């Protein structure tokens, strides 16, 4: 199977897990039961071994269009053929408390008559576990031949995931079984609909060769509910089934799910308070970010995929299905800014739980699993060829062991903003934040790997120092606004020390710009955030000179190629010092940061504001057909890196908000 471009995908989900649906109506990525669980469909990482669920017209040549049902995360893929028009409607049901982690696919002919082929070829546990397929009264069932405890998830921690190795495809369309799974060929006349529901199996019968929960309980020395069940919302609950009435009227049932899900998304989106000129793009970004939350714990993932390359064929392939303190904190800011305070409150609850786990003298980790655990050891799936041959395919992320001092700044800033615009934080939470502020005061001078998670050794990164300043500054602001007890005199002294050191050692007279690390000449787009966090005035000469330096093309020592910004000096110039080989694209987050820096500078110089709008409008054209962004943009305008990327959509929301305000003024 040939690979779809990364930008050809749309995202569906239910705040537990997600699925990527290609422009060819193939589901090529789906993990279960959580964002960070093993995959069941992973054709995006290996077209032969990864598994997919594809529905296509049998016409050799057709055109495809894809769009979201307005104000929802319901995805519609349309086939435009000489013989007519067909479409597939994909979503994961919401709005009904008894339905979770089901994929509903409605296939219909809109005009004339269309023949379709459906292929459901699962590949459990990233394609490492074989499965068998049997016929049932309602379709087919897929179940593993192998030990369900096999894989990267600890069976002691996730005993119920054994249930997730048994799935069923429910449909009224006759299915044929082969060695990969099940397929069907069928024809629909104008107005006719066929429904497919892919879901965890309802009953684990004897023909499902899956380990009993009693056996798992015995292995784990941990009491669990021995009823065969699945893990949902952090608890073990019975698997869900379709009633006989629902099975007999499957199309009607799917339509009911569609209506409930439509109502859910539109009710949620109605909270958005942004009414500026880029409302459609902001709302789509908000909907995408919502899919990257994990409702049972309040965690927020960086992206729903792993190992999509920053350079096709290269080694810069990472697993982003976890919660970075940095990314999640920025997400809280973006969502709260446009009215979604519930997500901010839920994440603050998750964050407070992590703070309660701190040992004496310790700080927060860079990232966590969505349940707060740290089993993030990096492993390689050598049996998968990777997207278009991009190896290695990674699960886990060894960056969790790095020291990244900036995370305390992002955390404190989000807590400060939440206290200001959301709800007052509790005193108990303040105790943890006070501890973290003191930790920053004790450790801010240490070298670290920095915001870009360099694997080239520790340095005195300017961005890290900047965010340490933010951490202490926001600690002081919080203490003042709430009259909390704090070591004010010490914090003020450290805050001023950090500020003066950045001005002395982070500024390079030769380059006339703030640089990436002390004693180096490389630029870093992270410095563009200085006016955003109120470290530098937007019109300060040093800030304006830094912006000008960043705006120069790479061949002149800058970071900007036709308005698109690299995060640091690219490998083309031989200056990259991140410890990795291979190229990468421009970093979408940094392009939006440039927009914000120019927007703020535009308060004193209208030309800067005009340029901010031009770059923002140009950047919008690099979104895919659905308004989604990956982490990076390649030299041909293609999407690179994990997709969609929360950081990019966060930055879009923030840039749109501030640019709209500036233009209105």
Q: What secondary structure does DSSP assign to 85-128, as a single string?
A: EEEEEEE---S-TT--S-EEEEEEEEEEEEEEEEEEE--HHHHT
Quick one: 619 and 533 in the same domain? yes
Of 200-209, 384-393, 623-632, minimum mean pLDDT range = 200-209
Question: Given a cut of 50, is residue 218 above it in pLDDT?
Answer: no
Mean pLDDT is lowest, of 50-64, 382-396, 470-484, for 50-64
Question: How far apart are the C-alpha atoms of 132 and 99, rounded to whole Å?
Answer: 25
DSSP annotation of 166 reads: E
The pLDDT, as a whole number, for residue 231 is 37
> pLDDT at position 357, please?
85
Q: Does 264 lie in the same domain as 279?
A: no
* 115 and 41, same domain (yes or no): yes
Confidence (pTM): 0.90
Residue tagged 């140009």 (tokens): 618
Last residue of a domain, one of 246, 268, 290: 268
465: nearest Cα among 522, 408, 519: 408
311 to 249, 316, 586, 641: CA distances (angstroms): 47, 7, 11, 8
Neighbouring C-beta atoms of residue 435, cutoff 10 Å: 16
Q: Residues 105, 194: contact at Cβ < 8 Å?
A: no
Whether the per-residue pLDDT at 310 is higher than 50: the answer is yes
Last residue of a domain, one of 268, 286, 306: 268
pLDDT band, very low/low/confident/very high, at 165 (cuts 50, 70, 90): confident
Domain membership flag for residue 105: yes
Whether residues 321 and 415 share a domain: the answer is yes
Identity of the highest mean pLDDT range in 91-105, 232-246, 649-663: 649-663
For tokens 């939350």, name the residue: 293
Work out the average pLDDT over 462-471. 97
Q: Distance between CA atoms of 11 and 289, rounded to whole angstroms?
A: 11
Residue 223 belongs to a domain: no
Over range 509-533, report the average pLDDT.
95
Co-location of 191 and 283 in the same domain:
no
Q: What pLDDT shows up at residue 204?
A: 41
Q: Is the torsion defined by CA of 152, 154, 160, 162 positive or negative? A: positive
Per the CB < 8 A criterion, the answer to whether 577 and 456 are in contact is yes
pLDDT of 599-615, one tens digit each? Answer: 999 988 899 999 999 99
CATH of the domain at 159: 2.70.98.50
Is the pLDDT at 88 greater than 50, yes or no?
yes
Q: What is the pLDDT of residue 99?
A: 58
Say if 579 falls within a structural domain: yes
* C-alpha torsion sign, points 557, 563, 565, 571: negative
* Residue 264 shares a structural domain with residue 277: no
For the segment 266-288, what is each residue's pLDDT rounded down to a tens digit? 999 999 999 999 999 999 999 99
Same structural domain for residues 538 and 475? Answer: yes
Q: What is the mean pLDDT of the chain?
A: 88
3-state SS assignment for residue 431: helix
CB–CB of 352/332 below 8 Å?
A: no
Supply the pLDDT for residue 228.
Answer: 29
pLDDT, position 28: 98
Token pair for 348: 């603050």
Mean pLDDT of 546-560: 94
Q: Are the C-beta atoms of 445 and 365 separated by less than 8 Å?
A: no
Does one domain contain both 139 and 40? yes
Strand ranges in 256-382 using DSSP code E only, listed in sequence order: 293-294, 299-300, 323-324, 367-368, 379-380
- Token code pair at residue 102: 């089901």
pLDDT of residue 596: 96
Pull the structure tokens for residue 615: 């770059």
Residue 211, SS3 per DSSP: coil
> How confident is residue 58, by pLDDT bands cut at 50, 70 and 90?
confident
Model pLDDT, residue 203? 52
- Report d(CA 526, CA 637) in Å as an integer: 22
Strands (E) located in 570-635:
586-587, 632-633
Domain contains 153 = yes
CA–CA distance, 29 with 308 (Å, rounded to integer):
11
Range with the poorest average pLDDT among 242-256, 315-329, 486-500: 242-256
C-alpha 407/C-alpha 261 separation (Å) is 36
C-beta of residue 408 within 8 angstroms of C-beta of residue 439: yes
Residues 200 and 280 in one domain: no
CB atoms within 10 A of CB 594: 26
Residue 606's CATH number: 1.50.10.10
Confidence check: pLDDT of 353 > 70: yes
Q: Residue 580's pLDDT is what? A: 62
Residue 536 corresponds to which tokens in the numbers above? 């530098």
Q: Where are the beta strands (DSSP E) in 483-624?
A: 507-508, 513-514, 560-561, 564-565, 586-587
Q: How many residues does the chain have?
A: 665
Q: 570 pLDDT band (50/70/90 cuts)?
A: low
358, two tokens: 């701190």
Quote the strand ranges of 239-322, DSSP E. 293-294, 299-300
User: Does pLDDT of 147 surpass 60?
Assistant: no
Least confident interval from 53-67, 178-192, 595-609, 646-660: 53-67
Closest residue by Cα to residue 498 from 475, 520, 525, 528:
475
Query: Domain containing 286: what range?
Result: 271-664
Mean pLDDT of 329-356: 90
Say if residue 597's pLDDT is above 60: yes
User: In this structure, are 590 and 473 located in the same domain?
Assistant: yes
- pLDDT-derived band at 146 (thresholds 50, 70, 90) equals low
Helix 407-421 to helix 341-355 angle (10° resolution) is: 130
pLDDT at 101: 86
DSSP state of 539: T
Do 176 and 298 belong to one domain? Answer: no
Name the band, by pLDDT with cuts 50, 70 and 90, for residue 651: very high
Q: Is residue 251 part of a domain?
A: no
- For the ranges 425-429, 440-444, 572-576, 588-592, the lowest mean pLDDT is seen at 572-576
Examine residue 234 and state whether it is found in any structural domain, yes or no: no
With respect to residue 377, please indicate whether it lies within any of the assigned structural domains. yes
Q: Exposed (0-12), middle (13-18) or buried (19+): which is 562, by Cβ within 10 Å?
A: exposed
pLDDT at residue 235, rounded to an integer? 35
Tell me the average pLDDT across 64-77.
97
Bridge pairing between strands 84-91 and 394-395: unpaired
* Total number of domains constituting the chain: 2
Half-sphere exposure at residue 623, Cβ-oriented, CA atoms within 13 angstroms: 21
**Whether residue 418 is found in the same domain as residue 433:** yes
Report, as an integer, the average pLDDT of 344-356: 91
Residue with tokens 């569906």: 12
Distance from C-alpha of 195 to C-alpha of 257, rounded to nearest angstrom: 12
Domain boundary (216, 234, 268) is at: 268
- What is the percentage of the chain residues whose pLDDT exceeds 70? 88
Taking the C-alpha atoms of residue 419 and residue 426, their distance in angstroms, rounded to an integer, is 9
The answer to the question of residue 245 being in a domain is no
User: What's the CA angle centered on 313, arms 310 and 314, to 5 degrees?
Assistant: 55
């Amino acid at each position: 199977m040939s690979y779809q471009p990364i930008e050809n995908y749309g995202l569906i989900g239910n705040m537990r897990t997600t699925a990527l649906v290609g422009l060819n109506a193939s589901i090529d990525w789906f993990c279960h039961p959580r964002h960070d669980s093993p995959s069941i469909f992973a054709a995006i990482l290996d077209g032969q071994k990864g598994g997919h669920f594809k529905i296509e017209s049998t016409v050799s040549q057709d055109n495809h269009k894809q769009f979201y049902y307005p104000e929802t995360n319901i995805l519609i893929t349309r086939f435009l053929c000489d013989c007519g028009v067909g479409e597939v409607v994909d979503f994961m049901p919401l709005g009904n408390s008894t339905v979770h982690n089901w994929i509903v696919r409605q296939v219909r002919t809109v005009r004339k008559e269309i023949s379709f082929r459906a292929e459901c070829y699962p590949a459990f546990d990233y394609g490492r576990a074989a499965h068998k397929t049997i016929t049932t009264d309602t379709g087919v069932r897929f179940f593993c031949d192998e030990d369900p405890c096999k894989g990267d998830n600890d069976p002691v921690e996730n005993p119920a995931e054994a249930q997730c190795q048994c799935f069923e495809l429910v449909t009224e369309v006759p299915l044929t079984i082969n060695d990969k799974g099940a397929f069907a060929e069928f024809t629909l006349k104008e107005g006719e609909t066929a429904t497919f529901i892919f879901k965890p199996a309802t009953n684990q019968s004897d023909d499902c060769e899956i380990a009993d929960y009693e056996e798992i309980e015995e292995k784990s020395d941990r009491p669990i509910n021995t009823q065969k069940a699945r893990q949902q919302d952090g608890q073990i609950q019975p698997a869900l089934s379709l009633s006989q009435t629902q099975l007999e009227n499957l199309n009607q049932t799917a339509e009911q799910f569609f209506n409930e899900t439509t109502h859910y998304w539109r009710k949620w989106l109605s909270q958005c308070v942004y009414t500026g000129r880029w409302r459609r793009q902001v709302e789509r970004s908000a909907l995408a970010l919502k899919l990257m939350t994990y409702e049972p714990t309040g965690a927020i993932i960086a992206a729903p995929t792993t190992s999509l390359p920053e350079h096709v064929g290269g080694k810069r392939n990472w697993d982003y299905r976890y919660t970075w303190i940095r990314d999640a904190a920025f997400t809280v800011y973006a969502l709260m800014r446009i009215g979604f305070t519930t997500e901010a409150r839920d994440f603050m609850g998750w964050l407070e739980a992590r703070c309660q786990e701190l040992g004496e003298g310790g700080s927060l980790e860079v990232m966590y699993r969505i349940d707060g655990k740290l089993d993030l050891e990096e492993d390689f799936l050598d049996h998968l060829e990777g997207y278009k041959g991009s190896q290695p395919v990674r699960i886990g992320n060894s960056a969790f062991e790095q020291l990244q001092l900036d995370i305390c700044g992002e955390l404190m800033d989000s807590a400060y903003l939440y206290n200001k615009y959301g709800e007052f934080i509790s005193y108990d939470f303040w105790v943890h934040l006070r501890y973290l502020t003191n930790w920053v005061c004790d450790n801010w001078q240490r070298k670290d790997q920095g915001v870009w998670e360099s694997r080239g050794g520790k340095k005195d990164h300017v961005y890290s120092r900047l965010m340490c300043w933010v951490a202490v500054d926001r600690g002081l602001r919080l203490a003042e606004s709430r009259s909390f007890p704090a070591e004010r005199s010490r914090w003020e002294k450290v805050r001023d020390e950090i500020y003066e050191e950045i001005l002395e050692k982070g500024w390079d007279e030769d380059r006339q710009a703030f640089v990436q690390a002390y004693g180096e000449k490389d630029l870093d787009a992270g410095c563009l955030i200085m006016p955003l966090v109120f470290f530098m005035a937007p019109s300060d000469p040093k800030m304006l000179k830094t912006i000008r330096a960043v705006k120069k093309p790479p061949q002149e020592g800058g970071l900007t190629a036709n308005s698109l910004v690299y995060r640091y000096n690219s490998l083309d110039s031989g200056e990259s010092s991140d410890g990795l080989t291979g190229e990468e694209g421009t970093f979408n987050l940094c392009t939006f940061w440039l927009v914000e820096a120019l927007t703020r500078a535009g308060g004193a110089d209208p030309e800067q504001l005009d340029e901010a709008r031009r770059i923002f409008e140009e950047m919008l054209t690099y979104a895919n057909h659905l308004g989604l962004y990956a982490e990076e943009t390649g030299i041909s305008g293609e999407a690179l890196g994990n997709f969609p990327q929360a950081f990019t959509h966060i930055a879009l929301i923030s840039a749109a908000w501030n640019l709209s305000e500036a233009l209105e003024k």
